[in-house]
């Protein structure tokens, strides 16, 4: 079992023998192991490498939670008072997408500031239309700002209900697409974050949980497992929204 000299406290902080079993304490909690030859076992020693994680890891626990959660928002992430709805009478005329209108007025969006996100309180700030000049490749129609993320603007397109990310200067980012999954960069829509507000809610929650797990991961292998899970989960929710790489672009800062 590996122990890391550059991590405090050590990966293994203590061990005690109980009968034929050895109880080990460390970063990952308490573990009971049974040596193959108890009579000659002298205790766990340092070896080169990193711990391997089975399918019962926290990554799979999060995936199971997302499958069985009946409500749009996980209460362990967003308490009911955090989710704000837009009063129906404040819906702009240009907000024509039916699903987006339903989400804004009946489901709501969380008003929070964290993990590089800042989403507005819809019931307090409404849905302001973007007055700035937009890129030439932007879809025609009105855009409405719902918050900030990674220093850029999160904008909702009124006609389609799609969510886009635009830079501080309201420009689309260059898509970081995977050539193994997409034959042509043109298949990736610039700045697309989510194909709808419904999928945006799911993408946001999976992103936040994965980001927290990365920050507390104890090893490189665990960080890689979290990132792999995140990429699979995001594509499963909204392949087009995940294709541009915006959801995963900031998660390599944890290495």
Q: Give mean pLDDT, residues 227-238.
A: 89
CB-CB contact of 190 with 175 (8 Å): yes
What does the pLDDT look like over 137-193, one tens digit per residue? Answer: 899 999 999 999 999 999 999 999 999 999 999 898 875 544 454 444 446 788 999
Phi–psi pair at 8, nearest 5 degrees: -120, 130
Q: Give mean pLDDT, residues 95-119.
A: 95
* Predicted confidence (pLDDT) at residue 227 exceeds the cutoff of 70: yes
Instruction: Specify the pLDDT at position 36.
Output: 81
Spatial distance between the Cα atoms of 162 and 192, rounded to a whole number of angstroms: 7
Instruction: Specify the pLDDT at position 199.
Output: 96
Q: Where are the domains of the chain?
A: 12-49, 59-254
What does the pLDDT look like over 29-47, one tens digit per residue? Answer: 677 878 888 778 777 665 4
The SS3 call for residue 253 is: helix
**How distant, in Å, are the alpha carbons of 4, 27, 44, 75, 112 from that of 47?**
9, 16, 9, 41, 44
Instruction: Specify the pLDDT at position 52.
Output: 42
User: pTM of the entire structure?
Assistant: 0.72
* pLDDT band, very low/low/confident/very high, at 198 (cuts 50, 70, 90): very high
Instruction: Specify the pLDDT at position 255.
Output: 57
CB-CB contact of 79 with 71 (8 Å): no
């Amino acid at each position: 079992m590996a122990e890391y000299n550059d991590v405090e406290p050590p990966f293994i902080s203590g061990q005690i023998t109980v009968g034929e079993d050895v109880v080990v304490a460390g970063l990952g909690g308490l573990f009971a192991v049974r040596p193959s030859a108890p009579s000659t076992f002298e205790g766990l020693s340092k070896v080169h490498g990193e711990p391997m994680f089975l399918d019962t890891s926290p990554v799979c626990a999060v995936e199971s939670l997302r499958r069985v959660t009946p409500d749009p928002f996980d209460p362990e992430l967003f308490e009911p008072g955090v989710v704000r709805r837009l009063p129906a009478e404040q819906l702009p005329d240009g907000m024509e997408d039916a699903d987006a209108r339903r989400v804004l007025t009946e489901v709501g969006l969380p008003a929070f500031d964290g993990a590089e996100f800042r989403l507005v309180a819809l019931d307090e700030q409404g849905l302001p239309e973007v007055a700035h000049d937009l890129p030439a490749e932007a879809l025609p129609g009105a855009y409405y700002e719902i918050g900030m993320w990674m220093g850029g603007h999160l904008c909702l397109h009124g006609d389609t209900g799609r969510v886009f990310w635009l830079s501080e200067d309201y420009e689309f980012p260059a898509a970081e697409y995977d050539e193994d999954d997409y034959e042509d960069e043109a298949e990736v829509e610039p700045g697309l974050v989510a194909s709808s507000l419904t999928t945006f809610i799911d993408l946001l929650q999976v992103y936040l949980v994965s980001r927290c797990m990365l920050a507390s991961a104890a090893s490189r292998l665990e960080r890689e497992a979290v990132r792999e899970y995140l990429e699979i989960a995001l594509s499963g929710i909204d392949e087009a929204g995940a294709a541009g790489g915006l959801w995963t672009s900031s998660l390599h800062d944890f290495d």
